[in-house]
Structure 1
Amino acid sequence: MQQRSGSLVEWLVPLAFIVCAGWLAWHLPAFILDFLPPQDPSQFDKLSALFKRNDVTPNMPGLFDGFADIFDWLALLLLPVTLVAGVLTVRRAPMEFEAWGPLDRLSVFIGRVTMMLIVVLCCVMLYEVFVRYVLNAATLWANELSLWLAGFVFLCAGLYAMQQRSHIRIFLLYDMLPRSLQRVCDTVSTVLIVTFAFFLVYGGYGEALDKLYRWETFGTAFDPPIPATIKPMVLVVVVLVAVQAIINLVSDWNTEAVIHTAADDIDAEELEALKRQVGNN
């Protein structure tokens, strides 16, 4: 039986993961310049100038005579540590799907990261509203940062929805079929998902790597690397979604047929709490 979700660790670890990932997403040009520097001198100068302009710690010397300083390396080392810690400490909430394999834990942890990203996104928007309409001093970065965060939320939420079997599905005909034909439908849908993921990666990895290597930015005053980060992230998440679809197929293969109703969307614990509250009043 899984421990109850909602402990302080489940808040802090995703937040630490976001901090490390955000730092790397902003300072990744340092590692590109250190390990895969552009051969074209103009491209090298352009990327190094962009990094120096956006470097959060410009006075810190780079380690190993490179561009990446100790904070960049620390974020790089802590990113997999926080990922593993998050996968090990994440707990299934009562209303979440019961499947709990290793990849399920990864998907649920990414779901927790997505939830924290929504909190960060709301804070950015509230801050922008406050400084714009109360202090009359609008920022140059809030709008682009909101778009950047929303892109990651959209992608990561898709993986969580796949693991929870909460993506859009039409059960009108599916529930009428015997379990054997339902398995055929599940297999066909999984094959279609994997095929889509394969051709998307096959056709898009070249462009994604090019945008990442050139560190293509948004072209605004804040100039975040939205194209350089979102495009590769699309391919990574699509692959994870395809793998999760295969895991779902294997995990659900021997389950009994389920008739879906509107009651599926009701949380039993929340309903009982409402009944008790109404009874007390």
Structure 2
Amino acid sequence: MNCSEINIEAIKNELNALWDCRSRGKTIELWTPFTTLTNKFITIFITERNGDLIVTDGAYFFLGDYEVEPSADDTQLLNNILVYQRYFKVDTTYDHYKNPVYYKKTNNFNQLPTAIIELAQFIQGIVNMAFVQLDADEESEQRKLFSKDANKFFKDAFGKRAKLNHKIGNITFPVAISHVHQVSVCKYITGSNQYDFRGSLAKANLDLELIYKGIYAKQISKKVTLINDIAFGYKNDLFYEEFNLMEDKDTISVKWSEKEKLIEILQ
């Protein structure tokens, strides 16, 4: 394949068709083809004031129009935004309601397209960054909550036999149940989305594989996975092969909604 086989004009036409605008008094509202991870198109506002062309985001970022809700107390996010601001040479002002407004300005109409594109790229970047950070925070919080609930279940069901954060070799299991001469180990599988759930499942599979083939195998009575089937990321039909792989390693998989089965399994 070479460049002549690609219809560049068709690509340009598709992209150009996504640009649109409308007048709002003395301001022009411009819809751009720049999209975010939250499936929103970036909107830019253009105003002429005292000979300057001012391009702003209309405070849409901090107002939550891109479905992220940045906090004024989130110093990590704000510091990262400052890095983006320096790169794109974007300034900050405030509207009548004290909401931060990001803007660029120029007194040259020839430089207006560059200012529009750079501000759109800036907003796209910080929205995506905030979304990924918030998603990671949500995943971490949900994982902690599930671990807390699961730990409590094991402690209530098995008392002192339940050893939390039990390490065998280089592998840490969130809980192990002691028997007379062996232990049964358990891995928790959860995720607030399919990506994180699959990652949790893959990590559990790897650790169980290492235990299954390792020098510690004789210490293990039973290998168990506790699956958070009420997690947003849980889709049994999507992870059919992974669950089957666990069964091939003599692993017992139990859903959180059926956790009482573990009392008999691990007695």
Normalised to the residue count of structure 1, the TM-score between the two structures is 0.19
Pick the structure with more strand per residue.
2
The structure with higher relative contact order (CA 8 Å, sep 6+) is 1
TM-score (norm 2): 0.20
Between Structure 1 and Structure 2, which shows a larger proportion of helix residues? 1
Question: Bigger radius of gyration, 1 or 2?
Answer: 2
